[in-house]
Chain A
Amino acid sequence: MSAISTQGLGKRYGSKWALRDCTIEVPEGSVTALVGPNGAGKTTLLQLAVGLTRPSAGDVTVLGLSPRDPALLARVGFVGQEHPLHRGFTVAETLKLGRKLNPGWDDALAHERVQRLDLPLDRTVGRLSGGQRAQVALTVAVAKRPELLLLDEPVASLDPLARREFLNSLMEAVSETGLTVILSSHIVAELERVCDHLVILAEARAELAGPIDEIVAGHRLLTGPRTEATAVARMHDVIRERHTERQTTLLVRANGHVYDADWELHEVDLEEIVLAYLGYGASRPLAEAVAR
Chain B
Amino acid sequence: MIEFHLETRSGVPTYLQIVQQVRQAVRLGVLRPGDQLPTVKDVVGTLTVNPNTVLKAYRDLDREGLVEGRRGVGTFVAEDVAPLPPGDVQDLRSGLEGWIARARGAGLDDDTMAALFMDTLRPPAIRSVA
Contacts and interface: CB of A to CB of B under 8 A. Distances in A.
Interface of A: 29-31, 164, 167-168, 171-172, 174-176, 190, 192-196, 212-213, 216-217, 267-269
Interface of B: 6, 8-15, 40-41, 44-45, 47-53
Contact of A193 (B6, B10, B12, B45): B6
Contact of B48 (A193, A196, A267): A193
B11 A193 contact: no
B44 A172 contact: yes
A175 B13 contact: no
B50 A168 contact: no
A167 B45 CA distance: 10
A291 B12 CA distance: 24
Contacts of A176: 41
Nearest to A176: B41
Q: Is the interface of A mostly helix, strand, loop or mixed?
A: helix
A217 B12 CA distance: 9
28 contacts: A31-B52, A168-B45, A171-B44, A171-B45, A171-B51, A172-B41, A174-B50, A175-B40, A175-B51, A176-B41, A190-B48, A192-B8, A193-B47, A193-B49, A193-B50, A194-B49, A194-B50, A195-B50, A196-B50, A196-B52, A212-B13, A213-B15, A216-B11, A267-B11, A267-B12, A269-B9, A269-B10, A269-B11
A171 B45 CA distance: 8
B8 A193 contact: yes
B41 A175 contact: yes
Contacts of A190: 8, 48
A167 B49 CA distance: 8
A220 to B, nearest CB: 10
Given A175-B40, A217-B13, 15 more contacts: A29-B52, A168-B48, A171-B45, A174-B44, A174-B50, A174-B51, A193-B47, A193-B48, A194-B48, A194-B50, A196-B50, A196-B52, A216-B11, A216-B13, A269-B11
The 8 closest A-B pairs by CB, nearest first: A267-B11, A175-B51, A168-B48, A269-B11, A171-B44, A175-B44, A213-B13, A196-B52
Contacts of B53: 196
A168 B46 CA distance: 8
Contacts of B9: 269
